[in-house]
Structure formats: structure tokens, C-alpha cells
Amino acid sequence: MRRFSIVFFLFFAVSLSAAELLSEAPKGFLWKQMPFIKMQLLMPSDWFFTFYAENKEERYLYYITKENIEQMHAYQTGLNLRVFRNVPAKLKGQLPSEYSAAAVAETAKKVKFTRKWEQQKGMFKEIGYTYTDNTDEKNILNVYRLYIANDKTGTVYILTFEGPTNDWDEIWKNVGDVIYKNISIDETI
């Protein structure tokens, strides 16, 4: 019983400590801890969260969506986050930043970027771009994708926010931009 109490106390103390580091969520949002990784994202309190894990491959897929994808099996507005761990071991020594640059170059062959950028933020190298996906004329979407690579840990995070072009300015200002400006990732993972 004593061992359980100590473990519970340590878990509670670590959880409390991590929670204290985050700023208060803006009105209408809540902080969502991503399972299996030390990352928190803001999510609108009336949106849905879905998570899939391919633990054998150490790949994780997270969704924060306006629509309930577990019921609809699709979504139109929201964020998906793909996380790949141990990239160098799986890709013959290729660093996450190299993987990200190659993926962006491949995408540039298929779509026309409306904007592209790169920047270094501490341990993370970021490459991002935006484009309009008009493959379905009835459902034209704007897409904002950001690769966040940590070469030290071998991890790459790929965040994609998308929504209908007709509603994009409002969706981006009120949701997408809020999420992206408040990403919280532990540099050691």
C-alpha cells in the first residue's frame, strides 16, 4: 500500500508540475495531452479528439476535428497530427529534418504552395507550407501543414490543419492559428 501511495504521489506531482507550465487555455479551448508523447495542443472545447496508434512502428495519429470522425469516418475541418519516432533507424540514417525536407519537396511536385517557410526554434527545425486542395470541386479546402523535426531525438511531428476555403479566414483566425501558436512539445522526446 505504501508503494502505491508513493507512486501515486509522484505521478500526481509530475502531472501537476506539467500542468503548471502551460498557460491558461483561451476561452472556448482546453489543453489536450497527446497520448504516448509529451505534447499538448489546444482544442476547441466542443470539438472531437480521436487517436490511433501503430505501436509496432512507433507511429501515432491524432485528430482534433469539428466533425465526429468516429461516427462520420471523415472530417472536413480540423487538425491531424502524425508522429514518427526513431526516424533514423527506420530510414537508413536519414535525420527527421532531412525526411521533412524530402517530403515537402515531393509535395511541391504535386501541389502549388501559396506560402512556404523554414525556421529553427530551439531543438526543432520547422518547415511549413499552405496550399489549396481543389481535387474535389464540391469541397475545396485550404491546407496548412507544418513539419517539426527533432534530429536529436529522431522524431518528426507533422501537423495538418484544413478547412473549407469559403470559411477559411474565420476558421484559421479562431481555431487553426490559436492551435499552432500554442504548441507545447517536450524537446527530449
Long-range contacts of 101-108 (CB under 8 A, 24+ apart): 101/127, 103/147, 103/158, 104/129, 104/147, 107/145
**Residues 171, 178: Cα–Cα separation, whole Å:** 10
Residue 167, pLDDT score: 96
- pLDDT-derived band of residue 118, with 50, 70 and 90 as boundaries? very high
- Under 8 Å between Cβ of 126 and 120: yes
Q: What is the model's pTM? A: 0.85
- Answer yes or no: are the C-beta atoms of 75 and 65 closer than 8 Å: yes
Side by side, the strands of the sheet bearing 184-185 are 29-33, 39-44, 184-185
All structural domains of the chain with their residue ranges = 24-185
pLDDT tens-digit series, residues 1-39: 544 444 333 333 344 344 457 899 999 999 999 998 889
Sign of the CA dihedral with 77 first, then 31, 184, and 4 last = negative
Please write the tens of the pLDDT for every residue from 52-97.
887 666 788 999 999 999 998 999 999 999 999 999 988 889 999 9
d(CA 48, CA 33): 13
CATH T-level topology, domain 24-185: Protein Transport Mog1p; Chain A (3.40.1000)
More confidently predicted of 8 and 51: 51
- Percent of the chain, pLDDT > 70? 87
Given the C-alpha cell 509522484, which residue does it identify? 10
